[in-house]
Structure 1
Amino acid sequence: MFSERVLLIFLAILYPTFAQDCVMLVTKEDAWDKKLHMDKMKDYHFRQPPKNQSCVPVKVHFQLKTFAFDEYADRFTAKMWTRMIWRDERLIWSPEDYGGIKKMIVLPTDIWTPSLKLLNSVEPDYFSMEIEECVVQNNGEVMCVPELIYESFCIAKLRDWPFDVQNCTLQFGDGERLTTSRFSFKGKAMSLGLAEYGNGWYIMMNNFKENPNSDVQLSITLTMERQASGIIVVLTGPCFVLSILNITSILLTVNDYIRLGFSCFSLIGHFTFLFFIDEFLPKHSGDTPVILFFIRDSIILTITSVLFTLVLSKIVKRKTVPFDWVSLVSNKVFFSFGRYLILPRWRVDPDAKDTNNVNNKEIWMNVANILNSAYLVVVIIVYIILFNAYMPKQPPAEY
């Protein structure tokens, strides 16, 4: 009992010393600020726009914070600070009448605010303008800076994928049924800062348009380039390997099934690669990526190589007397400078038992060599054309 009394006496002594720190001191500036709010909000109708203005001029400036482009859903999302500045005659005061106060902080629910709306939003019926605070100057200028997320449709154009360039547009207008605001850009219209990089994309250029007399009063178009250094290695490497496999198979002999098996292996590799890039390739686009045309034509070449191998295997096995024009072509090529252009050069088996038909077989073998060499040149030229026409290329630095 005694100890409890001692503790109470000790706390009573400490209370006056520390309790003074918790006292809320009301300064003269706070008093003037409270009076200013009471005077200006007393007869203020927040649902009505500023007096004597059928359309309130509003200056808008955007500060990009983050952005993302989803090519799978054709959606562009931007998170931005939206600075809006307008003049409200009802909020003008003389600083001398309120202790020299030149600005005050108000809640957006207490004053009229413009209804800036994203017209091409993914959810057109959704409208939200959440503002924490607004700053009012003594001359009636009001500035609100809400942090908003804008999400609009943006159709992906994937012809040059993965080096594709996308143009996404944000269209703004008045969200009210009766237009009460006339929006225009303030200064540079949009600041990027260090936010031009985001989720594998880079904003290369932006374009701004304003037309206060139309439904779309403000328009922002962002030109974005995909950062595809990693993807392009994954794509071009297998394409190059598949083309080398097809060309290499043409250099093999047709006397056994090694060449046929090699060509079939190359064909299987093409289809495997198609299944592989399906994981990376965006699906929702009206454009077909040109790299798919390369794979398509390479598959056609590989199938042709398989069929051509079967034809050559039949030719080299022939023992009948060749036609005159066949013998003429063989002699013209192999008894002239043209024999140095034949690659590879297959020869008749010297251990052949049927010596009477060795000469005939040699002529047919020479014809097979000529056809194979010509086909090799054609395939190489076609692949060069395909790489030049269909392989994705880095776009120019400026658009």
Structure 2
Amino acid sequence: MATYSAWLVILLVSYPPRLIVAECDPNRTPELHDEAKLHQDVLCAYNSNYRPVKDHKSTVTVKIRFALKYISFDSLEETFNLHSWVAMSWKDEFLTWTPSDYGGIKEIQVESHEIWTPRMALFNADASLYPSDSIYTTCLLDSDGTVTCVPHMVHSGICRTSLRRWPYDVQNCSFYFGSWMHTGQQVNFTFYNTRPIVLDDYQNGPGWKLLNVTNEFLPGAYTCCPNSSYPMLKYTFMMKREAGGPAAIVVIPSMVIVLLTLISQFLDIKDYTRLFLICFSLFGHFMFLTEIGYDIPKHSSDTPIILLFVRDSMLVTLTSIFVTLLLMSLRKRVVPAPTWVVSLNRVVNSGPGKYVVFTEFDPSESNDIKVLTGESVSDANIDEKARISADWLQFANVLNSFVFIVTFIVYFILVCVYIPKDD
């Protein structure tokens, strides 16, 4: 029995069953229904290389409607990508028929490569990419010759960015569409009468929010060509950066380093705490510039004002370091103060300026009133040294208060001018 089964398997492998297929008669022609006959008759002897007009002086009017789907914008490379469904409609004088001759069919579908289609070019396209102006889709053809194509198209163009108010910047990017070679008298691009721009299914791209889209028809009349025109369709996209993340990285730390510089001017100068804090603030400026350098676009038509704020804040902090060193030097003076210093102290203490002087450095550990040796010193000498030290300390208080007020005013102006705000 086993031998019989083995032979059966060998026979099945050697002679597999074959399907019986009826041979087709080469003279047999397929039966065409009305739609197939219509396709055959309409496209018979059709030439898609020329404009679909019977009179070469006639103009082909192409209506355009953009249904926006998605937008991506790269501010570093200054490239703007637009994903959309582009509805195109025009009339082809060679693609007409009488519906009653074909079973009442009023419209059919044809492939775009089988018929003439307008070549709409983007004039400010990104040259690094292949700017194809051909469409490949299925079009709807009416009996009166009206052709409607809705291809999915991606346009990549150049958009010059303005980053002065980064990260709360608003960008205006414009696209210019038209025929690359045909004049307006040959192919005239225009908008749909209703809803030339559709935003029903639009989704914002990463980091940007679309505020508004406007369209404008440019007649394209030039002095070089008085008898011809080259019209263009202009679309302007207004976009706002989603600044929540960049603001947390840039704007808030900018205010923190400002507070460090201001707070340091309240500290006493008898030890090095104030000097250490203000030097740390200066170091923070350098670290801050290094970190935000990866986030702020550095190559643009204008400089972000937040960088100008950090630059000026560094200068203010460096000035505060020099002032701190000067105050530490004044505190250690042992020579009598000049007359103008004493007069200034007297004027400030006797007038309304005393309400402005809010700092008071502690003289308890001043070297001017310490007896560092075992030598006997008279009370008169101690009083004289105390008076000299008091004059210099009072002058240091006046100078420090003045510097703080000036620093506060400077920072207030810098914040109002250079810190961008979300409108």
Q: What's 1:39 paired with?
A: 41
**1:382-393 matches, cutoff 5 A:** 382-393=410-421
Is residue 52 from structure 1 mapped to residue 55 from structure 2 by the alignment? yes
Q: For residue 89 of structure 1, report the CA deviation from its aligned partner.
A: 1.7
Query: What is the number of residues matched between the two proteins?
Result: 381
TM-score, length-scaled by structure 2 = 0.83
Is residue 207 from structure 1 mapped to residue 214 from structure 2 by the alignment? yes
Q: For residue 234 of structure 1, report the CA deviation from its aligned partner.
A: 1.8
Q: For residue 336 of structure 1, report the CA deviation from its aligned partner.
A: 5.4
Q: What's 2:187 paired with?
A: 181
1:107 to 102, 107, 111: 111
**1:244-255 matches, cutoff 5 A:** 244-255=259-270
2:370 to 352, 366, 371: 352
CA contact (8 A) 2:270 2:362 kept: no
Is residue 365 from structure 1 mapped to residue 393 from structure 2 by the alignment? yes
1:242 to 248, 257, 262: 257
Residue 114 of structure 2 aligns to a residue in which SS? coil
1:378 to 406, 410, 416: 406
Residue range with higher mean Cα deviation, 200-209 or 151-160: 200-209
Q: What's 2:86 paired with?
A: 82
CA contact (8 A) 1:135 1:142 kept: yes
Residue 295 of structure 2 aligns to a residue in which SS? coil
Q: For residue 178 of structure 1, report the CA deviation from its aligned partner.
A: 6.5
Q: Which amino acid aligns with 1:361?
A: S
Q: For residue 127 of structure 1, report the CA deviation from its aligned partner.
A: 2.3
Q: For residue 262 of structure 1, report the CA deviation from its aligned partner.
A: 1.4
Q: Which amino acid aligns with 2:414?
A: L
Is residue 62 from structure 1 mapped to residue 62 from structure 2 by the alignment? no
CA RMSD of aligned residues (A): 2.7
Q: Deviations over 1:112-152 (max 9, x none)?
A: 11111111111287324232211101111100111111011
CA contact (8 A) 2:363 2:393 kept: yes
Q: Which amino acid aligns with 1:234?
A: I
Residue range with higher mean Cα deviation, 159-168 or 348-357: 348-357
Residue 211 of structure 2 aligns to a residue in which SS? strand
Q: For residue 381 of structure 1, report the CA deviation from its aligned partner.
A: 1.5
Comparing both structures, which one devotes a greater share of its residues to helix? 1
Q: For residue 76 of structure 1, report the CA deviation from its aligned partner.
A: 0.6
Quickly say closer, same or farther: Cα 1:210–1:199, change in 2 above 3 A. same
Q: Deviations over 1:96-122 (max 9, x none)?
A: 100111111111121111111111111
**1:308-327 matches, cutoff 5 A:** 308-327=323-342
Q: Distance in 1 between matches of 2:356 and 2:89?
A: 78
Residue 393 of structure 1 aligns to a residue in which SS? coil
Where do 5+ consecutive residues of structure 1 fail to align? 16-26
1:170 to 161, 166, 175: 175
> Identity of aligned pairs, percent?
35
The higher radius of gyration belongs to 2
Q: Deviations over 1:316-375 (max 9, x none)?
A: 111112122211222333355644432220132276227231111111100000110111
CA contact (8 A) 2:120 2:133 kept: no
Q: Which amino acid aligns with 1:37?
A: H
CA contact (8 A) 1:207 1:222 kept: yes
Q: What's 2:374 paired with?
A: none
Q: What's 1:193 paired with?
A: 200
**1:120-199 matches, cutoff 5 A:** 120-123=124-127, 126-176=131-181, 180-186=186-192, 187-195=194-202, 197-199=204-206
Residue range with higher mean Cα deviation, 306-315 or 247-256: 247-256
Q: What's 2:320 paired with?
A: 305
Where do 5+ consecutive residues of structure 2 fail to align? 20-29, 221-228, 372-380
TM-score, length-scaled by structure 1 = 0.88
Q: Which amino acid aligns with 1:261?
A: F
